[in-house]
Structure 1
Amino acid sequence: MVLSMSVPRLSVLVLTIAFGLSSCGFLSSPEVAPPSAKSPSAPTPPGLEEFYSQEVVWRNCGDADCAKIIVPVNYADPNGPTTKLAITKVKANVEPIGSLFVNPGGPGGSAFDYAKAADYIVSPDIRDNYDVVGVDPRGVAHSSPITCLTGDQIDEILEADGTPDSPAEEQQVVEVSAEIGQSCKDKAGELLAHMATIDAARDLDIARALVNDPVLNYLGKSYGSDIGIVYSQLFPANVGRMVLDGVLPPDLTLEQVSKEQAEAFEVAVDDFAADCATQSDCPFVGDGPSIAQQLRAWLEGLDSKPLIENGRILNEPVATYALLSYLYFPPSDYAELRPALSAAVADGNAKPLFELLDARISRGIDGRYLDNSTEAFYAVSCLDRPFLGDKVKVQQLAKEWAVSAPTFGVAQAWGLLTCANWPAKSADQPVAITADLAPPMLIVSTKHDPATPYQWGQRVAEQLGNARLITWDSHHHTAYAEGSECIDAAIDAFWLSGKLPAADLVCE
């Protein structure tokens, strides 16, 4: 199993959760003041004038307006090939004070689809006062999506043994990792080398200009925060009211991200086990630590004795991934997981667990995947954070990480090989984070978030210098519009009036 795949598909699930929200949970914030640039907007980058001044032809697409905009594939060669991005705008219910750009995360999540759910992802006050805009990043969803992998290939990736116990199993991981890169090299074309976050941030500034906003007001969730941070360093004069929710620091290496995620998800396993111990439908018995141990033993047992359901294999990596998909979310979601887990553990019936997993990862009943988030995730992640190690390095990391993260550490280490084998390299250097370069932003982090651990929010807040960190003592992955009136009120006040919350605000 490649645990690193947790980031792409499951960040998109923020969308699914948001769709179910009721607007009654939002507080009203009547004070409204339009955002404006603190200083003149940065001049149009040389050679990009035609992109910044292009005519946008909007068309009605249900309850929104939609269009395609054109950007250069390679910003170092603006006269070369171009690609099209899908943009959607959901108009404000009353009078807009500006546009609020949104991104749900990923890499691989559709900002276009996320924005079209505007009534559910932001409060009524924000809907009244902002046009909500989503631009799918290049190569993602509706923006000239790269398509490298078939459904069978993605199934093979999920089923690949990420905890190899023999040289033969290790070789299988190496081969599957190489196959992913080779397939994308063969099918994705020139865009594959230009899907880094820095490219997405540059695209976002063109989109900002084309909706006639002097500054970028923004909600970036999970990986969307990475885009926002990079944007703030490239275009500090163009930063408006920016909220980064569930923060992914751009300066962390792939090795650091993978290790710290594995350790954070390990804590989530312990939390699940402690909760399971109090539930009558828990498939295991005993206290939390005992249940966590039994769960790991059951997963490991699937390595040699997998369950079969309609030709599909529920082995250790697939079952671990199904578990992981629920650890992203608060304990209330465990009520769905426990019966499916019980069916597999007690009865050997894998069907309920497959049904839950398929819903989480957008796999249709015909075996096709409904989006390209797997390919997009690898393309962006491996450009942003190349892994320079080899199999020997991975073997060493797997031994180390098995100690601090016994459920996920080994698989997370072996998952690094995909980026070691990635066929494309970004020509851009990583963007350094400079304190106080941009206006103050809000950094929102959840205390028990396994996907974007709390220390990442602290790290970015310290690096930015003038940012305000808001803490939510919760298990949610991301915080805004997830049920906390305290969080929503602070963020809405910032978007509506520019008012910063108190320093070190903690919401219970």
Structure 2
Amino acid sequence: MPRTINRAGVALLPLLLLVATGCSVGPSQRPAVAYHDSEQQVAPAPQPPKPQPVPPLGTAPNDSLNWQDCTEQTRSEVGSLPPGMTFSCSRLLSTLDAPEAPERGTARNSLIRTGSGRVPLVVVGDVDGEPGTTFAARLATQLPQEVRNTYDIIGMDRRGTGESEAANCVPQQQREQVLGFDPRATERADLDRLLESVLAASQECLLKLDERLQAYDTWRTASDLEELRLELGVPKLHAIGRGEAGRLLTTYAERYPGGVGRFVIDGAPDPTRDSMGQAEHQAQTAEQTFDVFAADCVSRRCPLGPNPRQTVSDLVERTRQTALPGPGRQVPAGLVTRGILQGLADRNSWPALAEALTAGNRGDGTELAEFTAPLVTPQGVNPPWFDGDLITGCNDTTLRVPPQRSSEIAQDWTSRFPLFGGIAAQHVVWCGSWPVPQQPLPAPRRTDLPPIPVITTAHDPKTLALGTDHMADELPTGVLMRWQGAGHGAITRSTCITDAVSRYLVRGVVPTEGMACPE
């Protein structure tokens, strides 16, 4: 059954705090008993389902989708392509399933495909990152040749992102105000101004999207993946999910266990913590990753000097008062901080990030603006990332933080996480005026799934390694793998991890539990 959400009506609900109260009577913990000839006998306990073996690859799909060449458009988005690599694009029609019209309506998802193996391998990424089609295309150019020869790599723009009926609904002024907001603001009066901007953005999205607003979430995106499997005509869905998309794959597994093929999760949010705990985790891991970036910067004698943290902290403090000039728009402290976070996600971008911060110290925000441009402004056919992140993030969580707590959280987190605690705290309060879903996303509990490799990265600015460890622990068939490197996601960045994943996807060789790969 689809999740249901209280009817939003014509206006968003007021700021709420979700308080869990009351008790319920659970099932008896005593063993089942049977009576026979007046003698009490203990019935044997039912055996839990056994983990499934690694699924076979399957045969070439009976594909009913209409694919059209889109190589040149893809080249313009991801840059140079390997010789001979081509791409085709299509649209997937699935059920919208809005709370006000369950199991009705149509959702349209944009798809991309490349490869020569004919067996589909679906790639999904973070909802707050580049569109899934772009991410899949970029990853496909870097995957081992044996994976591309075995599979067709298929990317999908998740609901409300990219070209999947994008949630391009936040007015530009509110988008810039929310993302550029002072990352060190801790006073209630200041934070109330942020909440006013978020409320204005939320109301505008409700007006533009109407019933579609509450249909953009991870629960329903899992049903899009199932519809994609059916349209491809394959018995099992093979997939890679990076970062927050790891939760999408576990949600799919809980809803459609019979469709789970060879899944790989490359970083994931901690399933044992709520959205506030996950935001706190992100602030913590971003700080740790910045320290690795700073040490790397010093070792390369980069222009940020002997103490990059202090240099950057001073830059953020200055831009709280006076934003940097950028190309067509200013770059205030909030965007400086978010630009750093974006740059930390790809270690190959660290030299460019150091140069951008150095330019910022000289009073030029042009290069820093490039890191945050996808969040704020359209990039070609793709809308700003912020809108889809806001909507899906708020639809996925039942947590609502009241305004009176915003100052308390901001003070605590900016004290413990000086660079990134403020923007993490702001994420938590974004959803205060949002309709509350009646149930959270399901925890990963299925025991009858195939082995699922779960990869942690030691210094991932978006997903704390400990949180991904917890995902591997909670997932009954999870197989933990560790990379000691830095950046968001290990596949294609670590040769050791990539080779192990390739062996699993192509030959069905399950990685060794707890295997660790050096940086």
Deviation at 1:352, TM superposition (A): 3.3
Deviation at 1:452, TM superposition (A): 0.9
**Structure of greater Rg:** 2
Equivalent residue, structure 2, for 1:371 = 383
CA contact (8 A) 1:72 1:78 kept: no
Deviation at 1:200, TM superposition (A): 0.5
CA contact (8 A) 1:102 1:115 kept: yes
Equivalent residue, structure 2, for 1:353 = 368
Aligned to 1:83, which of 68, 91, 107? 107
Q: What's the TM-score, normalizing by structure 2?
A: 0.79
Equivalent residue, structure 1, for 2:346 = 329
Structure 2: distance between partners of 1:322 and 1:486 = 29
Equivalent residue, structure 1, for 2:360 = 344
Task: Give 1:174's aligned amino acid.
Answer: L
Task: Give 1:196's aligned amino acid.
Answer: D
Structure 2: distance between partners of 1:196 and 1:255 = 18
Matches within 5 A, 1:368-407: 370-407=382-419
- Does the residue aligned with 2:153 lie in a helix, a strand or coil? strand
Task: Give 1:324's aligned amino acid.
Answer: L
Structure 2: distance between partners of 1:171 and 1:118 = 41
> How has the CA–CA distance of structure 1 residues 211 and 75 changed in structure 2, closer, same or farther, with 3 Å as cutoff?
farther
> How has the CA–CA distance of structure 1 residues 165 and 148 changed in structure 2, closer, same or farther, with 3 Å as cutoff?
same
Query: CA-to-partner distance for each residue in 1:162-218, whole Å, 9 max, x for gaps?
Result: 432555422321211212211211112211111111100111011101101101100
Equivalent residue, structure 1, for 2:474 = 463
Equivalent residue, structure 1, for 2:500 = 490
Structure 2: distance between partners of 1:236 and 1:400 = 41
Structure 2: distance between partners of 1:506 and 1:209 = 36
Equivalent residue, structure 2, for 1:35 = 57
Structure 1: distance between partners of 2:333 and 2:367 = 16
Equivalent residue, structure 1, for 2:333 = 316
- Does the residue aligned with 1:112 lie in a helix, a strand or coil? helix
> How has the CA–CA distance of structure 1 residues 308 and 488 changed in structure 2, closer, same or farther, with 3 Å as cutoff?
closer
Equivalent residue, structure 2, for 1:69 = 92
Higher alpha-carbon deviation: 459-468 or 310-319: 310-319
Equivalent residue, structure 2, for 1:13 = none
1:506 aligns with 2:506: no
Deviation at 1:494, TM superposition (A): 0.6
Structure 1: distance between partners of 2:329 and 2:210 = 32
CA contact (8 A) 1:160 1:176 kept: no
Equivalent residue, structure 1, for 2:464 = 453
> How has the CA–CA distance of structure 1 residues 121 and 75 changed in structure 2, closer, same or farther, with 3 Å as cutoff?
farther
Deviation at 1:463, TM superposition (A): 0.7
Query: CA-to-partner distance for each residue in 1:257-278, whole Å, 9 max, x for gaps?
Result: 1111101111122223333333
Deviation at 1:342, TM superposition (A): 2.0
Query: CA-to-partner distance for each residue in 1:92-127, whole Å, 9 max, x for gaps?
Result: 42x53x211111222464223344446414221111
> How has the CA–CA distance of structure 1 residues 384 and 351 changed in structure 2, closer, same or farther, with 3 Å as cutoff?
same
Structure 2: distance between partners of 1:129 and 1:279 = 40
Deviation at 1:369, TM superposition (A): 8.9
> How has the CA–CA distance of structure 1 residues 75 and 54 changed in structure 2, closer, same or farther, with 3 Å as cutoff?
farther
Equivalent residue, structure 1, for 2:421 = 409
CA contact (8 A) 2:93 2:108 kept: yes
Deviation at 1:334, TM superposition (A): 2.5
> How has the CA–CA distance of structure 1 residues 369 and 175 changed in structure 2, closer, same or farther, with 3 Å as cutoff?
farther
Equivalent residue, structure 2, for 1:147 = 168
Structure 1: distance between partners of 2:56 and 2:269 = 28
- Does the residue aligned with 2:141 lie in a helix, a strand or coil? helix
Structure 2: distance between partners of 1:309 and 1:84 = 36
Structure 2: distance between partners of 1:119 and 1:322 = 26
- Does the residue aligned with 1:442 lie in a helix, a strand or coil? strand
Matches within 5 A, 1:92-171: 92-93=115-116, 95-96=117-118, 98-107=119-128, 109-117=130-138, 119-164=140-185, 166-171=187-192
> How has the CA–CA distance of structure 1 residues 334 and 372 changed in structure 2, closer, same or farther, with 3 Å as cutoff?
closer
CA contact (8 A) 1:282 1:342 kept: yes
- Does the residue aligned with 2:94 lie in a helix, a strand or coil? strand
Higher alpha-carbon deviation: 299-308 or 216-225: 299-308
> How has the CA–CA distance of structure 1 residues 311 and 113 changed in structure 2, closer, same or farther, with 3 Å as cutoff?
closer
Equivalent residue, structure 1, for 2:48 = none
CA contact (8 A) 1:362 1:370 kept: no
Overall identity of the aligned pairs, in %: 23
Equivalent residue, structure 2, for 1:214 = 235
> How has the CA–CA distance of structure 1 residues 292 and 61 changed in structure 2, closer, same or farther, with 3 Å as cutoff?
closer
- Does the residue aligned with 2:490 lie in a helix, a strand or coil? coil
Task: Give 1:35's aligned amino acid.
Answer: L
Structure 2: distance between partners of 1:231 and 1:401 = 33
Aligned to 1:173, which of 194, 198, 217? 194
Structure 1: distance between partners of 2:500 and 2:334 = 40
Task: Give 1:385's aligned amino acid.
Answer: T
Structure 1: distance between partners of 2:205 and 2:98 = 21
- Does the residue aligned with 1:474 lie in a helix, a strand or coil? strand
CA contact (8 A) 2:180 2:335 kept: yes
CA contact (8 A) 2:112 2:155 kept: yes
CA RMSD of aligned residues (A): 2.8
How many residue pairs get matched?
448
Query: CA-to-partner distance for each residue in 1:117-139, whole Å, 9 max, x for gaps?
Result: 46414221111111222222222
> How has the CA–CA distance of structure 1 residues 474 and 133 changed in structure 2, closer, same or farther, with 3 Å as cutoff?
same
Q: What's the TM-score, normalizing by structure 1?
A: 0.81
Task: Give 2:360's aligned amino acid.
Answer: A
Task: Give 2:57's aligned amino acid.
Answer: P
- Does the residue aligned with 1:241 lie in a helix, a strand or coil? strand
1:474 aligns with 2:485: yes
Query: CA-to-partner distance for each residue in 1:207-237, whole Å, 9 max, x for gaps?
Result: 1011011011001111221111111111112
Query: CA-to-partner distance for each residue in 1:324-374, whole Å, 9 max, x for gaps?
Result: 2222232x53221223322322x323333334443x647469xx9942421
Which consecutive unaligned segments of at least 5 residues does structure 2 have? Answer: 1-53, 72-85
